Structure 1
Amino acid sequence: MAKTRDMEAGRKLKSHHRIQRWADKSYKRCHLGNKWKKLFAGSSHGKKIVTFVPNDGCLNYIEENDEVLIVGFGRKGHAIGKPLRTRKLSKTGLNIRRISYTMLFKSGIANLVVSLLLVAFGIQTCSSQINRASFPKGFVFGTASSAFQYEGAVKADGRGPTVWDTFSHTFGKILDNSNADVAVDQYHRYPEDVQLMKDMGMDAYRFSIAWSRIFPNGTGQINQAGVDHYNKLIDALLAKGIEPYVTLYHWDLPQALDDKYKGWLDRQIINDFATYAETCFQKFGDRVKHWITFNEPHTFTIQGYDVGLQAPGRCSILLHLFCRAGNSATEPYIVAHNALLTHAKVADIYRKKYKAKQGGSLGIAFDVIWYESVSNSTEDAEATQRAQDFQLGWFLDPLMFGDYPSSMRNRVGSRLPRFTSSEAALLKGSLDFVGINHYTTFYAQRNATNLIGVVLNDSLADAGALTIPFKNGKPIADRANSIWLYIVPRGMRSLMNYIKQKYRNPTVIITENGMDDPNNRFTPIKEALKDDKRIKYHNDYLTNLLAAIKEDGCNVKGYFVWSLLDNWEWAAGYTSRFGLYFVDYKDNQKRYPKNSVQWFKNFLNSTK
């Protein structure tokens, strides 16, 4: 047998502890639905080997006594009868040859540390045949939506205007110059949509309440017609055995509050939102047991108050060339700070006055891109962490630890507001679950030139990190329709492990995951329903999520597909189709099931 080495990868690991630090426990083999085949081939040592036939993107390896020989990735695997060779790992640039089991585990049990390789080297769990029965008992599957993207009926039953009504009716703000006045008309067609969920076998539906349907002016008198509508929707869901997961704020700020005091820029919004939230607890809390205060606070902070690409469209980039008002260097931090304090106040109200009787839980849905360092350099690794600090950490650190990440404190300085001791105490521990909206993975690297800082002078520049989907001119993966959505299933597992390690394994719900196709008017509906790419997307992301749960011990309790229907996708308008159901916007928003609907039916109704 060749001499055992720690690792030959162009660079050596000096100690097995450097490997062990990534692993919480050992795992026997990559999950392949128990589809293993023994293959015998003549190695360079003339010994029998055991390997498996992989699917795309899976690790291939063999065992020789107490050693593991990494063969490579992908469908090719190791050809029977051919000499064993190492193969360059495209995601890391490393040539890994040998890892000793005894080096990894003093117990001598020959277990391959799959989670170790996943986190350390970006390895993705193989696709496999999975279904509902593969997941822990009680795991929740659902679909997700938002009021502004789905409801339409913008002037019905006393609804007040929102900042998105104003923004979408401003020429040039929406890619196809459309608006959501009709959207997919779920306000009137919710009984039909509830039945679609029931037919698929979904357990839950995540939707948002439009603040301006309950309080048309943001405050003041309650609009009973709005309350009645959501009562009917909730009752219709429960009648079909579908659990409502309710988001209180999915970006549709009442226009009256933006006019009155600039919305999230003023601390007055804390009390106004708390009044609205408590009204929802009073009116719906006897039946709603899962509340989400905010959807993607990072997105509405950056897009609305930093780069100005979404409502209310504030920024100061290039001397207000793109926005009429705003300060990109300060306003995002003020908005985020006020949103966090608002959540803390609402959580305190719910726990003190309603939780004991209603028995519900409360969280936030965070948007999270997973970042992989573009290289092994210390500078790029630190930049990758900063990118995550300025995204998830910006919001989750205060809610878990009582303050912003130290990297933000150091780099933003006096522009970053501070929490009082009482505010920090109220924030810390105010989540019952962590909602994660995850779609894609990017590379991150140090911003060496600071060109972004000169151009933007904003929170993106403050992070000192460039996040891009390319390395050496090659994309990180295949892309969906949206320019930001690259299909990288391994990012799901890596992100779950990151949250587990940094935030002490909180309860997590995947509150959004999905991909989009283009809305091509020349594509026949029959062809548009063939969404095999979406089927593979969900299968692969769910496979990696399952590995995070079962193999890595991540505490994930649910998965919500974005989205049930094609819908109005904010600044992209109707150019993007995320739905499991195709919506014909030219024929009264008629719904047609795509192939993914049948796939989910099979997935959710399989018991073995």
Structure 2
Amino acid sequence: MGSTGGEAEVARADFPDGFVFGVATSAYQIEGARREGGKGDSIWDVFTEDKERVLDRSNGDVAVDHYHRYKEDIELMASLGFAAYRFSISWARIFPDGLGGKVNEQGVAFYNNLINFMIAKGIEPYATLYHWDLPNHLQKTLGGWLSDKIVDYFALYAEACFANFGDRVKRWITINEPLQTAFNGYGIGVFAPGGCEGETARCYLAAHHQILAHAAAVDVYRRKFKVAQGGEVGLVVDCEWAEPFSEKVEDQIAAQRRVDFQLGWYLDPIYFGDYPESMRQRLGSDLPTFSEKDKEFIRNKIDFVGLNHYTSRFIAHHQNPEDIYFYQVQQVERIEKWNSGEKIGERAASEWLFIVPWGLRKILNYIAKKYNNPTIYVTENGMDEEDDQSATLDQVLNDTTRVGYFKGYLASVAQAIKDGADVRGYFAWSFLDNFEWAMGYTKRFGIVYVDYKNGLSRHPKASALWFSRFLKGEAAENKADTN
């Protein structure tokens, strides 16, 4: 099993009453139905038309066809025992051109049906408004997140969702991983909309507008819906834990800086009114400024922090690392091994993903300490395997490494709660194998296997069955090994 936290045994009883266990997905990765139900194109629909941009030259036009199979998927989720489902709404299904003029009733009907079915099956909806699939019209006409006008359009879209779904959805997430949109989408261009390589300052502008858009959506909710609906609105940030490579002060400071450039980039403005000083020092005029009015407006516009966390790294100070600009400017070196040569953890399929359960406890405690103990949900956590075309179904379902991953990371969450962090829920990524962005279908994060060759049939993996036993409080023996 390798470094999975010494095979920590973890049980449902290790978590407080009322702690929520769920699974997560996103619209573009699973829905498909690109041209059905009145949907407009998103930037990912258009981005993937250039086949060179995706490893296996694939796209999400059909994805895993959740649009037509949502009942089957929700029934499976319920039968496994999950009490919550974090899904995302496709902006281009609600407003095909993104402009917020006229709501697409077919899009609203789809999400109403999905939400109603979830609730009927005893599953609580956690809805994400933006998981990277911007209506392409807004990209084409405005430049997408590079335009300050996007803030108003996002607020209109958020309002339409609150108005149509907020009587049943009580947990809202504005934006998923704004860092990835800014950095991969507008900074280096490996994600949609692409095509902006080398223009690094753009990534900070895109991030700036995402922060303002998040605040605008929260503002709309608090002014118009909160009293009647009684829900909460949060933001989902992604962060790897940065473990100092040595006791040296410069490495300790570098590790802090690395977290500033991930978490602090988004949470510092919301909690403290401005970007981290370490970013300002290194980026200068590349980093936009908030007016006093903006600072007032964004401050404390958050009801909970959603954390997406997968992995950790050792971080050392480096004056001028041979790396892409984003890391050069941080003056950090990301290291995978201890001095002894031992890896920080076993590697999953993705080259960036090492299994380091203790990192999750550290980052949760960091958020608790730095931001005055906010309510936290772990909104994504999981690992991937390679899509192995030669393996039998039995082999691909026997995902024992993932079982170990979840045991270790869940034990880490339970520890953080004991340490005092106010963690209220945990969502496994992902419910289904799906379209993995620039990696296409070559990586599988699902706890449910999707057979791409045989009609997209669904098959729960050992990890799904482990979760089911865990949620039902059954003995957590690793029965997966008996296949």
- Pick the TM interval, shorter chain: over 0.9
Q: 2 CA distance for matches of 1:131 and 1:249? A: 33
Q: CA deviation at 1:166?
A: 1.2
Alignment-mate amino acid for residue 570 of structure 1: W
Does the 8 Å CA contact 1:246/1:292 hold for their aligned counterparts?
Answer: yes
Larger radius of gyration: 1
Q: CA deviation at 1:293?
A: 0.2
Q: Which residue of 370, 392, 395 maps to 2:241?
A: 370
Does the 8 Å CA contact 1:333/1:415 hold for their aligned counterparts?
Answer: yes
Aligned partner of residue 514 in structure 1, secondary structure = coil
Would you say how many aligned residue pairs link Structure 1 and Structure 2? 473
1:205 and 2:73 aligned: no
Q: 1 CA distance for matches of 2:335 and 2:379? A: 24
Please give the per-residue CA displacement for 1:322-365, whole angstroms capped at 9, x wherever unaligned.
Answer: xxxxx11x101100000001111111110011011100000011
Deviates more, 1:281-290 or 1:595-604: 595-604
Aligned to 1:315: 196
Q: 1 CA distance for matches of 2:213 and 2:267? A: 14
Q: 2 CA distance for matches of 1:449 and 1:259? A: 36
1:411 and 2:282 aligned: yes
Alignment-mate amino acid for residue 201 of structure 1: G
Structure 1, unpaired ranges of 5+: 1-54, 58-123, 318-326
Q: How does 1:171-182 map to 2 (within 5 A)?
A: 171-182=51-62
Aligned to 1:529: 397
Q: How does 1:153-168 map to 2 (within 5 A)?
A: 153-168=33-48
Q: CA deviation at 1:450?
A: 4.4
Aligned partner of residue 505 in structure 1, secondary structure = coil
Aligned partner of residue 212 in structure 2, secondary structure = helix
Structure 2, unpaired ranges of 5+: 476-483
Please give the per-residue CA displacement for 1:158-213, whole angstroms capped at 9, x wherever unaligned.
Answer: 11011101111212110111111111100000000000111011010000000000
Alignment-mate amino acid for residue 491 of structure 1: G
Please give the per-residue CA displacement for 1:390-422, whole angstroms capped at 9, x wherever unaligned.
Answer: 111000111111110011111111221111112
Q: Which residue of 334, 338, 359 maps to 1:491?
A: 359
TM-score by structure 2 length? Answer: 0.95
Does the 8 Å CA contact 2:219/2:301 hold for their aligned counterparts?
Answer: yes
Alignment-mate amino acid for residue 338 of structure 1: H
Aligned partner of residue 582 in structure 1, secondary structure = strand
Q: 2 CA distance for matches of 1:316 and 1:567? A: 27
Aligned to 1:514: 382
Q: How does 1:566-585 map to 2 (within 5 A)?
A: 566-585=433-452
Q: How does 1:49-128 map to 2 (within 5 A)?
A: 127-128=7-8
Q: Which residue of 243, 255, 278 maps to 1:384?
A: 255
Q: Among the aligned pairs, what percent are the same residue?
A: 48
Does the 8 Å CA contact 1:125/1:547 hold for their aligned counterparts?
Answer: no
Aligned to 1:354: 225
Q: 2 CA distance for matches of 1:459 and 1:521? A: 35
Aligned to 1:589: 456
Does the 8 Å CA contact 2:320/2:328 hold for their aligned counterparts?
Answer: no
Please give the per-residue CA displacement for 1:482-501, whole angstroms capped at 9, x wherever unaligned.
Answer: 11110000001111111111
Aligned partner of residue 246 in structure 1, secondary structure = strand
Does the 8 Å CA contact 2:242/2:259 hold for their aligned counterparts?
Answer: yes
Deviates more, 1:419-428 or 1:207-216: 419-428
Aligned to 1:290: 171
Aligned to 1:40: none
Please give the per-residue CA displacement for 1:73-108, whole angstroms capped at 9, x wherever unaligned.
Answer: xxxxxxxxxxxxxxxxxxxxxxxxxxxxxxxxxxxx
Q: CA deviation at 1:465?
A: 1.2
Alignment-mate amino acid for residue 431 of structure 1: I
1:601 and 2:482 aligned: no
1:238 and 2:109 aligned: no
Relative to 1, partners in 2 of residues 1:136 and 1:126: Cα closer, same or farther, differing over 3 Å?
A: farther
Q: How does 1:543-582 map to 2 (within 5 A)?
A: 543-550=411-418, 552-582=419-449
Q: CA deviation at 1:430?
A: 0.8
Alignment-mate amino acid for residue 212 of structure 1: A
Alignment-mate amino acid for residue 236 of structure 2: A
Aligned partner of residue 156 in structure 1, secondary structure = coil
Alignment-mate amino acid for residue 48 of structure 2: S
Does the 8 Å CA contact 1:387/1:467 hold for their aligned counterparts?
Answer: no
Q: 2 CA distance for matches of 1:607 and 1:567? A: 29
Q: How does 1:293-304 map to 2 (within 5 A)?
A: 293-304=174-185
Q: 1 CA distance for matches of 2:375 and 2:431? A: 24
Q: CA deviation at 1:314?
A: 3.4
Please, what is the CA RMSD of the aligned residues?
1.5
Aligned partner of residue 172 in structure 1, secondary structure = helix
1:460 and 2:341 aligned: no
Q: CA deviation at 1:470?
A: 3.2
Aligned to 1:268: 149
Q: 2 CA distance for matches of 1:165 and 1:345? A: 27
Aligned to 2:202: 331
Aligned partner of residue 53 in structure 2, secondary structure = coil
Q: Which residue of 270, 277, 280 maps to 2:161?
A: 280
Alignment-mate amino acid for residue 142 of structure 1: G
Q: 1 CA distance for matches of 2:44 and 2:382? A: 23
Q: 1 CA distance for matches of 2:67 and 2:11? A: 32
Q: 2 CA distance for matches of 1:400 and 1:335? A: 19
Q: CA deviation at 1:377?
A: 1.3
Please give the per-residue CA displacement for 1:488-526, whole angstroms capped at 9, x wherever unaligned.
Answer: 000011111111111111110000000111101011111
Aligned partner of residue 217 in structure 1, secondary structure = coil
